[in-house]
Amino acid sequence: MNWRKLRTFLLTVLVLCLIPATRYYQIDEPLMRLLKSPRAVDPLSLHLAGEFVESNLGTEQGSDGSVTVRMIAQQYLFVPHCILVPAGVPVHLRITSADAVHSLNFIGTKYNVKVVPGTISEAQLQFPEAGDFKTACTEFCGAGHYAMRSKLKVVPRDQFPVLGAQERGTCAAR
Protein backbone atom coordinates (compact mmCIF):
# COMPACT_ATOMS: atom_id res chain seq x y z
CA MET A 1 0.00 0.00 0.00
CA ASN A 2 1.47 3.30 -1.03
CA TRP A 3 1.42 6.44 1.03
CA ARG A 4 -1.24 8.22 -1.06
CA LYS A 5 -3.77 5.44 -0.60
CA LEU A 6 -3.09 5.24 3.12
CA ARG A 7 -3.52 8.98 3.49
CA THR A 8 -6.88 8.92 1.66
CA PHE A 9 -8.04 6.03 3.79
CA LEU A 10 -7.06 7.72 7.03
CA LEU A 11 -8.72 10.99 6.02
CA THR A 12 -11.93 9.17 5.10
CA VAL A 13 -12.01 7.41 8.46
CA LEU A 14 -11.39 10.69 10.24
CA VAL A 15 -14.21 12.46 8.41
CA LEU A 16 -16.60 9.56 8.96
CA CYS A 17 -15.86 9.71 12.68
CA LEU A 18 -16.25 13.49 12.83
CA ILE A 19 -19.71 13.67 11.26
CA PRO A 20 -21.58 11.77 14.00
CA ALA A 21 -19.50 13.46 16.68
CA THR A 22 -20.50 16.91 15.40
CA ARG A 23 -24.09 15.86 15.22
CA TYR A 24 -23.94 14.57 18.76
CA TYR A 25 -22.41 17.63 20.35
CA GLN A 26 -24.39 20.20 18.37
CA ILE A 27 -27.80 18.58 18.16
CA ASP A 28 -28.33 15.40 20.12
CA GLU A 29 -26.61 16.24 23.35
CA PRO A 30 -28.43 19.56 23.98
CA LEU A 31 -31.71 17.97 22.97
CA MET A 32 -31.19 14.95 25.22
CA ARG A 33 -30.23 17.22 28.08
CA LEU A 34 -33.54 19.03 27.65
CA LEU A 35 -35.57 15.88 27.23
CA LYS A 36 -34.08 14.19 30.28
CA SER A 37 -34.76 17.19 32.50
CA PRO A 38 -37.40 16.57 35.16
CA ARG A 39 -39.07 19.90 34.51
CA ALA A 40 -41.66 18.39 32.24
CA VAL A 41 -44.87 20.20 31.24
CA ASP A 42 -47.80 19.00 29.18
CA PRO A 43 -47.70 20.99 25.92
CA LEU A 44 -51.41 20.36 25.26
CA SER A 45 -52.68 21.84 28.51
CA LEU A 46 -50.44 24.85 29.05
CA HIS A 47 -53.49 27.11 28.97
CA LEU A 48 -55.44 25.21 31.64
CA ALA A 49 -53.24 25.52 34.71
CA GLY A 50 -49.68 25.87 35.88
CA GLU A 51 -46.88 28.23 35.10
CA PHE A 52 -47.73 29.04 31.49
CA VAL A 53 -51.36 30.12 31.77
CA GLU A 54 -51.88 33.24 29.69
CA SER A 55 -52.21 35.57 32.68
CA ASN A 56 -48.74 34.51 33.87
CA LEU A 57 -46.90 35.18 30.59
CA GLY A 58 -44.59 38.15 30.37
CA THR A 59 -42.04 39.75 32.64
CA GLU A 60 -42.31 39.07 36.35
CA GLN A 61 -40.45 41.14 38.92
CA GLY A 62 -39.63 39.30 42.12
CA SER A 63 -39.65 41.01 45.49
CA ASP A 64 -35.83 40.80 45.50
CA GLY A 65 -35.63 42.62 42.15
CA SER A 66 -34.97 39.51 40.06
CA VAL A 67 -36.57 39.48 36.63
CA THR A 68 -38.20 36.39 35.12
CA VAL A 69 -39.68 36.20 31.62
CA ARG A 70 -42.15 33.47 30.75
CA MET A 71 -43.03 32.77 27.12
CA ILE A 72 -44.75 30.21 24.93
CA ALA A 73 -43.50 29.36 21.47
CA GLN A 74 -46.15 27.95 19.19
CA GLN A 75 -46.83 27.59 15.50
CA TYR A 76 -46.19 30.42 14.41
CA LEU A 77 -45.98 32.94 17.17
CA PHE A 78 -44.11 33.79 20.32
CA VAL A 79 -46.47 34.78 23.12
CA PRO A 80 -46.21 37.46 24.43
CA HIS A 81 -45.34 39.01 21.11
CA CYS A 82 -43.13 41.72 22.60
CA ILE A 83 -41.05 41.18 25.74
CA LEU A 84 -40.10 44.07 28.00
CA VAL A 85 -36.94 43.75 30.10
CA PRO A 86 -34.71 46.22 31.97
CA ALA A 87 -31.16 46.84 30.73
CA GLY A 88 -28.13 45.59 32.62
CA VAL A 89 -30.09 43.22 34.86
CA PRO A 90 -29.82 39.43 34.65
CA VAL A 91 -33.04 38.13 33.13
CA HIS A 92 -34.18 34.59 33.76
CA LEU A 93 -35.99 33.28 30.69
CA ARG A 94 -38.40 30.35 30.95
CA ILE A 95 -39.96 29.27 27.67
CA THR A 96 -41.84 26.20 26.53
CA SER A 97 -43.45 25.06 23.31
CA ALA A 98 -47.10 24.21 22.71
CA ASP A 99 -46.51 22.07 19.62
CA ALA A 100 -43.29 21.66 17.65
CA VAL A 101 -39.59 22.28 18.30
CA HIS A 102 -38.80 25.96 18.00
CA SER A 103 -35.75 28.06 18.68
CA LEU A 104 -35.82 31.59 20.02
CA ASN A 105 -33.05 33.70 18.58
CA PHE A 106 -32.47 37.25 19.80
CA ILE A 107 -31.16 38.78 16.60
CA GLY A 108 -28.01 40.83 17.12
CA THR A 109 -27.24 39.29 20.50
CA LYS A 110 -25.45 36.10 21.45
CA TYR A 111 -28.55 34.32 22.72
CA ASN A 112 -30.37 31.45 21.06
CA VAL A 113 -32.65 29.21 23.08
CA LYS A 114 -33.93 25.90 21.78
CA VAL A 115 -37.53 25.20 22.75
CA VAL A 116 -38.71 21.60 22.92
CA PRO A 117 -42.34 20.67 23.65
CA GLY A 118 -42.74 19.00 27.02
CA THR A 119 -39.78 20.73 28.59
CA ILE A 120 -39.07 24.16 29.97
CA SER A 121 -36.01 25.78 28.42
CA GLU A 122 -34.24 28.10 30.79
CA ALA A 123 -31.62 30.72 30.04
CA GLN A 124 -29.88 33.55 31.83
CA LEU A 125 -29.87 36.62 29.62
CA GLN A 126 -28.44 40.05 30.13
CA PHE A 127 -28.81 42.99 27.78
CA PRO A 128 -26.32 45.72 28.66
CA GLU A 129 -27.87 48.51 26.61
CA ALA A 130 -31.39 49.72 26.01
CA GLY A 131 -32.83 49.27 22.57
CA ASP A 132 -35.30 47.44 20.40
CA PHE A 133 -34.37 43.96 19.26
CA LYS A 134 -36.07 41.46 17.01
CA THR A 135 -36.40 37.79 17.72
CA ALA A 136 -36.95 35.00 15.25
CA CYS A 137 -37.55 31.29 15.25
CA THR A 138 -34.44 29.54 13.96
CA GLU A 139 -35.72 25.98 13.94
CA PHE A 140 -37.95 25.04 11.01
CA CYS A 141 -41.35 24.51 12.62
CA GLY A 142 -43.83 24.43 9.75
CA ALA A 143 -45.48 26.40 6.96
CA GLY A 144 -45.39 29.78 8.70
CA HIS A 145 -41.93 29.39 10.19
CA TYR A 146 -40.29 32.25 8.33
CA ALA A 147 -42.87 34.74 9.63
CA MET A 148 -42.46 33.59 13.23
CA ARG A 149 -40.89 36.69 14.69
CA SER A 150 -41.45 38.87 17.69
CA LYS A 151 -39.86 41.79 19.49
CA LEU A 152 -37.74 42.45 22.52
CA LYS A 153 -37.71 45.88 24.11
CA VAL A 154 -34.86 46.64 26.49
CA VAL A 155 -35.56 49.78 28.50
CA PRO A 156 -33.18 51.62 30.88
CA ARG A 157 -33.41 50.32 34.40
CA ASP A 158 -35.01 53.46 35.80
CA GLN A 159 -37.69 53.45 33.08
CA PHE A 160 -38.75 49.88 33.73
CA PRO A 161 -42.18 49.97 35.37
CA VAL A 162 -42.47 48.81 38.97
CA LEU A 163 -44.57 45.67 38.71
CA GLY A 164 -46.72 44.32 41.50
CA ALA A 165 -46.60 40.65 42.42
CA GLN A 166 -49.67 39.99 40.25
CA GLU A 167 -48.61 42.10 37.30
CA ARG A 168 -46.75 40.85 34.26
CA GLY A 169 -44.90 43.33 32.10
CA THR A 170 -45.19 43.19 28.34
CA CYS A 171 -44.93 45.61 25.45
CA ALA A 172 -47.27 43.63 23.19
CA ALA A 173 -50.18 45.68 21.87
CA ARG A 174 -53.31 45.22 23.91
Partner 1 sequence: MRRDKRQGFSRWRAAWIAATLVAAGSLLVVASDNRPERVPSYVSWTPETIAAASAGDAFRGMLLAKHCEHCHGAEGFSAVGATPNLAGVNRLAIWKELEDFRSHKRRSPVMEPIAGSLSSRDVADVVAYYAKVPVFEDLQDNRSFPQPRPDQKRSAMASLLVSFGDGERGIPPCQSCHGPVAYKIGVPSLANQNADYVLRQLEAFANGSRSNDINMPMRTISILLSEEERHALAGYYGSGLGLDTGSSR
Binding of partner 1 at residue 77 (CB under 8 A)? yes
Candidates 8-16, 31-39, 78-86, 155-163 — which segment interacts with partner 1 by CB under 8 A?
78-86
Query: Segment 113-142, which members bind partner 1 (CB under 8 A)?
Result: 142
Binding of partner 1 at residue 46 (CB under 8 A)? yes
CB environment 54-80: b (16+ within 10 A), e (fewer): eeebbbbbeeeeebebbbbbbbbbbbb
Question: What mask, x for binding partner 1 by CB under 8 A, covers residues 88 to 107?
Answer: ----------xx--------
E strands along the chain, which residues? 58-61, 67-74, 77-79, 82-86, 91-97, 102-106, 112-115, 121-125, 131-137, 149-155
Query: Segment 137-166, which members bind partner 1 (CB under 8 A)?
Result: 142-144, 146-151, 166
**Contacting positions for partner 1 (CB under 8 A):** 44-49, 53-56, 72, 74-81, 98-99, 142-144, 146-151, 166, 172-174
